[in-house]
Structure 1
Amino acid sequence: MAGGDARWGCCESGNEANLQEKFLLCSTCGRSYHYFCISIKEPPNNISAWKCPTCMSSAPKVGRSDSTPIRNVSMNRGPKRQAIASPSPPSSSSKENDIRCIIKEIIGEELSEMLVRINETIVGTISRELEPLRLEMQGMRDSMSFMNEKFEEIRKKQEISNERIMNLEAENAELKAAMGGMSERFVNLEQQSRSNNLEVQCVPENKNENVYKIITQLARVVKCEISDKDIPHCTRVAKSNSSSTRPRSIIVQLASPKLRDQLLAATIHFNKSNPQEKLNSSHLGYAGPKSPVYVAEHLSPTNRALHAATRIKAKEMNYKYVWVRNGRIFVRKNEGTEHIQIRNNSNLSRMV
């Protein structure tokens, strides 16, 4: 019989291998049964009237008035007596080994499945627990990237700023050098503009005095011939220190530097010639106590401050001589030592 569309009543297997086996068709229920499944080797005599065990067990017994079904016949054949010269049945130890192998296989499969489920559970749990950490780490990486970008921007700006500062420092040094040179030139020019001037200090003041007559009288005393036309301008100047009790100085502008030097040299010669009676207020016609009168070059404010600082330093370092010649300041420690020119405050360190 063909079994392509058969309904199976035994193993219900319709695969290609089982379709090749011999089977019988039940005349009552129409189901198909393999020879092997119903434990027969040869086909019955009346194949067309063959009934399956299920239908036979449900049919009533012959010769009975009740409808009691026929005893259920098991589809599996019971144990038979061992035939003569047939192989001996397997021993109980081999059956136990087979059972153990089967149990081991079952346990191994169960353990494998259990391990897989445990691994999946562990991996899932760890993934869920580590997810916040992963997000936090991602946030930290983003923050670090942002900070690194900002740091690079700041570093580049710092490098640019450092370069600008270096350029500015170099430019500032050049400007300082230029300003130093310009300042020195300005001081020289300012002093040169006073090359015709003399400053007469400590001359007593009177309300109706004539400073021109005072200067001409001074020239007569020191024996230097000066006329009124040799004095273009003469006046008293304000005090640098308003609290000082000294009279205001008289600034005398002479006709030439040569005439200025002549009057200054004559005053120095007069003081050397009269060490006990140096130039004082009585020589100029002032009555009362005698007060010394000093004649010096008219220094610029810068040179005046430098001259004052030089005199203080010379007193500290025991320098004997401090003098001014043509607006330049000189010092000498003793009679036989070499003189030092003081150009600025930094030169004061040379006085040792």
Structure 2
Amino acid sequence: MVNLKQCKKCEQSIAKSSLKLLCGDCRGYYHLRCGKVDEVDARIMIENKAPWRRPLCENDIEIDNLRKTQQRKSLLVTQQSSSPSRSTEELELKEMIRDLQKEMRECRKSVDFISQMYEEEKKRTKALSVMVNEISRENRTLKEEVEKLKSVRNKEENKKLDKNLCITGLISDESDKENLQNKLHSLFQALEVTVPESEYKVLENIETRNGMKTVISLENKDKKYVILKARAKKGKITTSSVGVGDENTPIYINEDMSKDTYTLFKKAKELKNVDYKHVWHRDGKILARKNDNDKPVHIKNEAMLDELLG
């Protein structure tokens, strides 16, 4: 069971891990807010092992000190009344000395005050610096955790899409959807692969800058790789070359990917400006290499990509 301190002012519990105040006179524990001390000042007092007194305890000390001062003054007046009289010149000289001493004390107090303020500001700055560093560490940790969660989420999204293919340019617009199945059949024939209608289904048609993108989901990943391999072997294909139109509209066949992966892939294409010959994606992974014989680099996030881009 956690041993909790009780605030002497509000009588509420103080968590063990919380900063708290201990009065040097009454030995009671207080919340920072109950003692009217902010976190920076509390940290400074802890670091310098400076004593703290609650205001009421300080008032008791001030009253006691005032009483002692009054007693000393009374004793001084008694002593002066019993001493023999001095000459006027001697008294004037004494008065001048006292005035000078008073001015010196005031000057010293001013210097001490400025010095004290300077030291306190140094302590506050140091305490604030520690707090800023702590917050920065916490932010870095949170950022790392967020990146991990994003990575896990992205992998899960790509896993859901691992049987999908995106075919762009096969149809020109929404009105052409009625001929989609026939055009898909012609495309698979041109690629010399057998893909019966029972082994895939059309998920959606999306308008893009390069034409309508048709997303299909296949029964298994192996069939997806067969189509991609046939596409690579065939080289450039167009609507006219596969017999689905008179124009030479390019047809693109790619793996489907999550939004985050697509964004990273678009940016990764900039690597071709810094001597990377190949940039591609496979199974939700962004890969790149400078030469044909080099080992591919797996680009996992934007930080890694920024490092490669220099």
TM class by shorter-chain length?
Answer: 0.5 to 0.7
1:268 is displaced (CA, Å) by 1.5
Instruction: State yes or no: 1:341 paired with 2:298.
Output: yes
- Name 1:225's counterpart in structure 2: 194
* Among candidates 305, 309, 319, match of residue 276 of structure 2: 319
The answer (yes or no) to whether the contact 1:212–1:234 under 8 Å persists in 2 is: no
Mapping 1:100-115, distance limit 5 Å: none
Q: Deviations over 1:113-135 (max 9, x none)?
A: xxx96xx62x5444444555444
Question: What RMSD in Å do the two structures reach over aligned CA positions?
Answer: 3.1
1:208 is displaced (CA, Å) by 2.2
* Among candidates 233, 250, 261, match of residue 292 of structure 1: 250
- Name 1:98's counterpart in structure 2: none
Identify if the C-alpha distance between structure 1 residues 319 and 148 changes in structure 2 by more than 3 Å, giving closer, same or farther: closer
- Name 1:198's counterpart in structure 2: 165
The answer (yes or no) to whether the contact 2:186–2:244 under 8 Å persists in 1 is: no
SS at 1:291 equivalent:
coil
1:200 is displaced (CA, Å) by 1.5
SS at 2:253 equivalent:
strand
Mapping 1:143-222, distance limit 5 Å: 143=110, 157-210=124-177, 211-222=180-191
Question: What is the count of residue pairs matched by the alignment?
Answer: 222
- Name 1:308's counterpart in structure 2: 266
1:188 is displaced (CA, Å) by 1.6
The answer (yes or no) to whether the contact 2:173–2:207 under 8 Å persists in 1 is: no
Structure 1: tracts of 5 or more residues without a match: 1-115, 272-277
| Higher fraction of strand | 2
| Higher fraction of helix | 2
1:149 is displaced (CA, Å) by 6.0
* In 2, Cα distance between equivalents of 1:325 and 1:282: 28
Larger radius of gyration: 1
Identify if the C-alpha distance between structure 1 residues 142 and 184 changes in structure 2 by more than 3 Å, giving closer, same or farther: same
Q: Deviations over 1:253-308 (max 9, x none)?
A: 2222222222212222222xxxxxx3111145443430211111112222222222
TM-score, normalised by the number of residues in structure 1: 0.54
Identify if the C-alpha distance between structure 1 residues 334 and 256 changes in structure 2 by more than 3 Å, giving closer, same or farther: same
* In 2, Cα distance between equivalents of 1:143 and 1:227: 95
Residue identity opposite 2:291 in structure 1: N
Identify if the C-alpha distance between structure 1 residues 139 and 169 changes in structure 2 by more than 3 Å, giving closer, same or farther: same
- Name 1:258's counterpart in structure 2: 222
SS at 1:167 equivalent:
helix
The answer (yes or no) to whether the contact 2:191–2:230 under 8 Å persists in 1 is: yes
Identify if the C-alpha distance between structure 1 residues 154 and 309 changes in structure 2 by more than 3 Å, giving closer, same or farther: same
